[in-house]
Amino acid sequence: MMLKDRQMLAAAAAFILGIVIFALGWRWGAAALIVASAAAIAFRLVWVIRPIRIRDASVLLIRLAGELREVESATLVQQVLGRFSPSFRQMLAALDFCGRDAKVKTVLVEITGLNVGFAMAQEMGELLRGLYERGKRVIVLLNGDTVSLREYLVAAGAGEIVVNPNVSLTMVGLAAGGLFLKRALDKLQIEAQTLQWKEYKGAAETFIREKMSPALRESTESLIKDWEEILIARLSAWRGFEADHARRLINSGFLGAQAALKAGLVDRIGYFEDLEGELDPDGRGKPLAPLPAYLRRVRYLSRTGRAARIALIYGVGPVITGDPVAGEFISGEELAGMLHLASTDRRIAAILLRISSPGGSAVGSDLVWRAVNQARRREKPVIVSMGDVAASGGYYIASAADAIVAGPGTVSGSIGVIYAKFNLGALLDRLGVSFDFVKTTEAGDALSIARALHADELEQLNELMGSLYRNFTTKVAQGRRLSDAQTEEVARGRVWSGVAAKSRGLVDELGGLQRAIEIAREKAGLAIGEPHQLVLVHPPGLRLRTGPRLPRRFDAEQEPALLSRALASWGVWAPALVKLAVGRAPLWLCPFF
């Protein structure tokens, strides 16, 4: 271990040089060199080498609570204060390394109020199942007040599931839908004018309908059916249920711990302290390795020197243009710039783009699409890995990649365009607010909140929407090598699960981030067994970074607002969504589920 530590070797060499110099008679200089190198060696041993050493038969402790984000955003201050919430990226790194770490025999995962999307829940379950199949003992403790189906999908991948005696499992099936504001807007006398290309593009229905249109209901029902089949398949494979029995269980309602045990959903009832006593019988805590400490071990032992580099770039949240906003979002200019820097760096062999986005700005999406194409022209393979959702503008970005990998439950597609404008004239008139304009044309105030769009203005906008839609479908057809007819069949604003998207040619393979890494290695021409270095690329900003990185211009990401961090994913995305909603521009936005 220490022989591979360059800093340690350099300090040891300096120490030996100091002794040689001392022997030659240059005592003051030699003494200073000896003291400095000895201090460096001691610091490295105490603060780096010692913390990453763990005992044989160690237990990796992981606590999952709150939102599981794609990539970490905790600052140094938050980490010092103990506010550590692992990201999915960190979980992947830790569990992948753990599978090869002979020192770790058991993985204990405590799940408490975990907020996770369907596709990521399945990916987490697959990771735990992979460890179990590699001979590790994998235990999940369900320790929140209630356990959702998505939390249970994560837990089902483990070899053992333990549940707190007071936990309730909410096995109430799956549901997807949205908020409909028409009656509320009518009461406020706010008129919403929307355009959509085409019939399945239902994001704007929120403002003009009281319930789903038949087309949106059709696509949503198809998505939910695919999710249910995925869930049944995983429970059958991992828990040994017959398919029909698994279907009944996930729709069995609210179950207490005893009922869940009787149904075979969990293996036993117990507390964390019970497991802690079982795994650490002497009570000294030595075999226990908490995830934050274990990640230091992973970073240190995963160093690969001058191995080929694969750039990992994240695009998470709604796509916007212009100035950044609080929360998670994709700045078209910023993400395009990151792709440009990675594609022009000679040390980068391939680019892995992880997308979790419902879309958004047409212009912002196109900027990133162009950057992906330019990276490919520079002979840098670009592989897209889709998270929970990569639809509409998120799919537009992905369509230019060399290969697209989606989770079976990923929400994708939604190839279409929407537009919405709000007329607040009547509401403001009731409040005593009036407007008066001086205009060079009749349409000068068309985008104001004072009036509705006229029929001829709507017709012009609809023609513009049609041209944007045709631009979208043309680029999808080119990127996915589909005919115009094939593209139109899968477009029209319809969302697809990853399973359905693959069968229709919209994605290449089903899998998670690990499978996307494998494809990136293949595209980069790396031989089996040849090491690689996964380099995380960040937009400009100030925050702690650990592990391999690109030059300084790549460092850090913007810190989200505290309020946004306290909310679930849609709350985190809310500032960007509000900016899009008031932007008065055509949008490539996925219906919300």
Q: Which secondary structure element, helix H or strand E, spans residue 141, and what is its range?
A: strand 137-142
Stretch 534-558: mean pLDDT: 46
CA distance 541 to 558: 6
pLDDT the model gives residue 70: 93
CATH number for 340: 3.90.226.10
Same domain, 97 and 35: no
Is residue 208 assigned to a domain?
no
Is residue 439 assigned to a domain?
no
Is residue 192 assigned to a domain?
no
Is residue 181 assigned to a domain?
no
Please write the tens of the pLDDT for every residue from 402-448: 999 999 999 999 999 999 999 999 999 999 999 999 999 999 999 99
* In contact, 219 and 200? CB cutoff 8 Å: yes
Predicted model pTM: 0.86
Is residue 430 assigned to a domain?
no
What contacts 237, CB < 8 A, 6 or more positions away?
none
Task: State the burial class of residue 445 (Cβ atoms within 10 Å of its Cβ: 0-12, 13-18, 19+).
Answer: middle
Residue 301, token pair as written in the block:
């032992």
Residue 169, token pair as written in the block:
């499992």
> What is the residue type of 64?
L
Residue 568 has pLDDT above 70, yes or no: no
pLDDT the model gives residue 95: 95
Same domain, 42 and 149: no
CA distance 566 to 482: 43
Same domain, 461 and 317: yes
Residue scoring higher pLDDT (354 or 39): 354
> What is the residue type of 508?
D
CA distance 7 to 400: 42
What contacts 285, CB < 8 A, 6 or more positions away?
none
Single residue among 296, 317, 335 that ends a domain in this structure: 296
Same domain, 86 and 101: yes
CA distance 2 to 11: 12
**Closest Cα to residue 39, out of 62, 15, 57?**
15
Evaluate the CA torsion angle 38, 40, 43, 46 in order and state its sign.
negative
Same domain, 275 and 312: no
17-21, 37-41, 144-148: range with lowest mean pLDDT:
37-41
Stretch 10-26: mean pLDDT: 67
CA distances for 93 relative to 397, 464, 547, angstroms: 26, 45, 11
- The count of domains in the chain is 3
pLDDT the model gives residue 158: 97
DSSP β-bridge partners for residue 146 = 168
Which DSSP category does 45 fall into?
I
- The percentage of residues in the chain with a pLDDT greater than 90, rounded to a whole number, is 69
Please write the tens of the pLDDT for every residue from 499-530: 999 999 999 999 999 999 999 999 999 999 89
Stretch 111-120: mean pLDDT: 94
Is residue 324 assigned to a domain?
yes
Same domain, 124 and 64: yes
Supply φ then ψ for residue 159, to 5 degrees. -80, -30
Evaluate the CA torsion angle 179, 184, 190, 194 in order and state its sign.
positive
Same domain, 268 and 415: no
Single residue among 52, 67, 82 that ends a domain in this structure: 52
Is residue 302 assigned to a domain?
no
Quickly tell me which residue has 């409909």 as its tokens.
Answer: 180
CA distances for 49 relative to 37, 234, 294, angstroms: 16, 40, 12
**Closest Cα to residue 337, out of 104, 521, 550?**
550
CA distance 196 to 190: 19
Supply φ then ψ for residue 435, to 5 degrees. -125, 150
Same domain, 515 and 380: yes
Residue 184 sits at the vertex; the CA angle it makes with 183 and 190, to the nearest 5 degrees, is 100
Same domain, 254 and 399: no
Residue 359, token pair as written in the block:
């879309």
- Looking at every residue in the chain, the average pLDDT score rounds to 86
Same domain, 358 and 266: no
**Closest Cα to residue 360, out of 303, 319, 309?**
319
Single residue among 246, 269, 296 that ends a domain in this structure: 296
* In contact, 517 and 533? CB cutoff 8 Å: no
Same domain, 256 and 271: yes
DSSP β-bridge partners for residue 411 = 389
Residue 492 has pLDDT above 90, yes or no: yes
**pLDDT band at 572; cut points 50, 70, 90:** confident
Enclosing domain of residue 13: 2-52
Same domain, 244 and 145: yes
Is residue 301 assigned to a domain?
no
Roughly how many angstroms between the first and final C-alpha of the chain, as a whole number? 48
Residue 280, token pair as written in the block:
């650490």
**Closest Cα to residue 49, out of 97, 93, 1?**
1
DSSP β-bridge partners for residue 501 = none
Exposure string for 555-570, b = 16+ CB within 10 A, e = fewer: bbbbebeeebbebebe
